[in-house]
Amino acid sequence: MNCTNNGACVDTTGTKAAYCNCTGLAFDGNFCENDINECLTNNGGCDENAICKNLIGSFSCSCKSGFLGNGFICNGILFSFFFLFFSFFFFFFFFFKFDGITKSNH
């Protein structure tokens, strides 16, 4: 028996009753010949603001227009801008010490 796409041939009886085990692969069928479209279930695990693209034996996620991220997490561009701005603000004002900002007459 010739299993495809790295399917494992299982012959527990020593006869012609062998079969292909496709468990853990992105394929199914008698010979592991059929690609499974991961995008059909829960958008492939991609973010709700992402597009899932089925690939042979795999899939990819990419954020929709107006969103930034890795496809599994997509944030709106406006949110990303404010996050970066406030991250810089926090870093700048809390990690640098400014001598002389508050003056004392002692």
The pLDDT of residue 87 is above 60 = yes
**Which tens digits make up the pLDDT trace of 5-55?**
999 999 877 666 788 999 999 999 999 999 999 999 999 999 999 999 999
The CATH code of the domain at 37-96 is 2.10.25.10
Closest CA to 43 of 35, 52, 56, 34: 52
* Least confident piece of the model among 3-7, 43-47, 59-63, 93-97: 93-97
pLDDT at 91 over 90: no
pLDDT value for 99: 47
C-alpha distances (whole Å) from 4 to each of 24, 27, 37, 55, 59 are 14, 9, 17, 16, 19
* pLDDT over 50 (residue 72): yes
Domain locations in the chain?
1-36, 37-96
Same fold, 1-36 and 37-96: yes
User: What would the two tokens of residue 52 be?
Assistant: 């899932």
Does 1-36 carry CATH code 2.10.25.10? Answer: yes
